[in-house]
Chain A
Amino acid sequence: MIKIYLFLIIMGVIGGVGYGGYMYYKDTQERIAILTDNNAKLEVAAQLQEETINTMIEDVQRNAELNKELQRELQIAEGYGDQLRATLQKHNLTHLANKKPGLIERKMQNATNRLWDDLADITNPNGVQPDTTGKGSDGNKGSENGNTDSSKTEASPTK
């Protein structure tokens, strides 16, 4: 009788240990599955975050580049006015008009015509911008001749 009880006790202990082991194994597997799942989610999140950061860096670089280009273009656009002011300060247009009205008139007329052409180019929706921006050159053209004064003068008005 004692042997039977002993046997039942041992079997109970063994069964308990076995059940405990099984439960431990099952719980561990569940944890592993959850952790694996979490890990995958974190990897995806990390990757997404990295991509976002890279995109932001690219955007910042692109915007900086565009802004730099814009500032350069804005500066170029100032060129014509600066050149015109310098030309008008440098030359006495009144004196030139008194001495050589015909020549000055021709230069003024040419410069004025160029200005209209330039304005048409600038506002051309399909237009190329290169020459438009190089207004400084226009001013120069105007002031090219010996009558630089007049030319410039002209160029100024024209442009």
Chain B
Amino acid sequence: MKTEIPIVARPKQVQLNDIKIYVVSKLNYAEFIKSYEKKNGADSYIALSVKDYENLSLNFAELRRYVEQQKQIIVYYEKAIAPEKKEEKDGKVQ
């Protein structure tokens, strides 16, 4: 006889904030400084090298993979513990 485990509700959806990315090179540096200061009211910013940006994207990809796989494993368990419905010859469901 199988132990019946109630399926609990999943956590609420993530609420992510938008971010603005600036790609700056010699070609648009002056323009960037001007527009950035105008928009943000300061000329200080956090810079990321291209390599670090790639690493950051890979890190996000890894986290995304983990979340997705974790979700699939939960789905697997939910299906595994779900009560099985059998139809008998007379059409009644057990």
- Which residues of A approach B to under 8 Å, CB–CB? 58, 62-63, 66-67, 69-70, 73-74, 77-78, 80-81, 84-85, 88, 93-94, 97-99, 101-102, 104-105, 108-109, 112-113, 115-116, 118-120, 122-125, 127, 129, 132-133, 135, 153, 156-159
* Contact residues of A: prevailing secondary structure: helix
Interface bracket on B: 35 or more
A122 CB contacts on chain B under 8 angstroms: 64, 67-68, 71
A115–B57 CA distance with the chains assembled, in angstroms: 10
Closest to A73 in B: B72
A148–B11 CA distance with the chains assembled, in angstroms: 36
- Which residues of B approach A to under 8 Å, CB–CB? 9-16, 18-28, 50-51, 53-54, 56-58, 60-62, 64-65, 67-69, 71-73, 75-76, 79-80, 84
A93 CB contacts on chain B under 8 angstroms: 50, 53-54
Given contact pairs A120-B16, A127-B13, enumerate 4 new A-B contacts (beta carbons under 8 Å): A70-B76, A81-B58, A113-B18, A122-B68
Q: Which one of A66, A81, A109, A116 lies within 8 Å of B80 (CB-CB)?
A: A66
Q: Is the CB of B13 within 8 A of A124?
A: yes
Q: Is the CB of B22 within 8 A of A84?
A: no
Q: Is the CB of B64 within 8 A of A115?
A: yes
Q: Is the CB of B11 within 8 A of A84?
A: no
B51 CB contacts on chain A under 8 angstroms: 94
A77 CB contacts on chain B under 8 angstroms: 65, 68-69, 72
A59 to chain B, nearest CB (A): 8
Q: Which one of B22, B54, B57 lies within 8 Å of A105 (CB-CB)?
A: B22
A98 CB contacts on chain B under 8 angstroms: 25-27
A157 to chain B, nearest CB (A): 3
